[in-house]
Amino acid sequence: MRYLVAFRASARIPLLQTGKTALATVAAWLVAGALIRGELPTFAAIAALLVVQPSLNQTLARAIERSLGVVAGVLVAYVVGIVFGGGYWIVLAAIVIAIGLAWLFRLTPTTSVQVPISAMLVLSIGMSTPGYAADRIIETVVGAAIGVAVNIFVVPPISVEPARRAVDALLAETADRIDAIALALTRAQTPQALEELLLLSRLLIPMGAKADAALTSADESLSINPQRGRHQPGLDEAIQLRARLARLTTRTLAMTRTLHDRFSPELVDEPTVTALAEETRRAAHDLRLQRLDHQAPADDASAAAEPPALTAPITVASPDPQHWILIGSLLEDLRRIREEITGEEAM
């Protein structure tokens, strides 16, 4: 059974998209069948089936690719038929020529596949059926147009909220990692604990990639979408926050790496470290307040009255020579984290 995993997706296609695909296919079949008598409107149904995509931008692109592929394939078949006439080997020649032309003109994968398929069908079936080529072009255009129309007018797909949730999840995890640094500064750490601290911080990188992918999907979902004006501000806010989180992630990883490489049990006894840990914890609290839903966590509500991170200078007593590099590095990274959270310019 484990071999079947390769044929299954990690998640189901949204039910709404499945319904719209079915609706577009049925509508294309009925409309094309009413317009063109004789042959079953297979091309129209296939076009509608392939055109409906998760975003309007992708749907329109797929419709254009499909239509151009059919037209180009029909033209190839027409020219080959005029030059070489009919015959068994002419179909194979047309397929090879269509593949070569698709490569020569750098057509997209969808169009590159459609050109030889259309050429093959026209030469193998259309030679004995008058008007076959023209009918197939009309069918394809009708099916593609219906696919686009269904995706536009039947609940246009919008992916802004999933993108905002992905950015919020990254923000929350970044704040947790900053909190973990603050906690690590207040107690002795074993090598295993420091290794876990570094490993968990590195997980911010794939979370950032996931947020970027969600933002890209959201932007595509708003392209040529009639509801773009209403949802664009929310997407812009998420994009701006993601840019800030990219820098915050870098600083958080740097602090964790410094702590991992230079931590020693005597560090918690340094006078400056207690203040540094407190300001780091406040930075995590203030970062959580930047979430896109603008709501502080329920268990952090009592901290709402706390001053922002690093509101007062930290008095740095002369540390042990073994610790001054660690403390200085953490202070500088924390200063930059605070600037990202508050939006202040670096001094």
pLDDT tens for 244-279 read 999 999 999 988 988 888 777 777 677 777 778 888
pLDDT at 4: 56
- Is 203 strand, coil or helix? coil
Q: How many CA atoms lie within 13 A of 174 on its CB side?
A: 34
In this predicted structure, what is the pLDDT of residue 1?
Answer: 52
For the ranges 130-134, 167-171, 187-191, which has the lowest average pLDDT? Answer: 130-134
Q: What is the pTM of this model?
A: 0.69
pLDDT at 76 over 50: yes
CA proximity to 250, closest of 291, 278, 292, 208 = 208
Q: Give CA–CA dist 302/121, Å, rounded.
A: 71
CA distances to 71, 118, 131, 133, 219 from 136, rounded to whole Å, are 9, 9, 9, 5, 34
Residue 296 predicted with pLDDT over 50: no
Band of residue 321 on the pLDDT scale cut at 50, 70, 90: low
Q: 101 pLDDT exceeds 80?
A: yes
Burial of 124 (0-12, 13-18, 19+ CB in 10 A): middle
Supply the pLDDT for residue 292.
85
Mean pLDDT of the chain: 82
Report the pLDDT value the prediction gives residue 204, as an integer from 0 to 100. 94
pLDDT at 226 over 70: yes
Q: Is the pLDDT of residue 141 over 70?
A: yes
Whether the predicted pLDDT of 213 surpasses 70: yes
What is residue 9's predicted lDDT score, i.e. its pLDDT?
64
Q: How much is the average pLDDT of 25-42? A: 88
The confidence score (pLDDT) of residue 309 equals 45
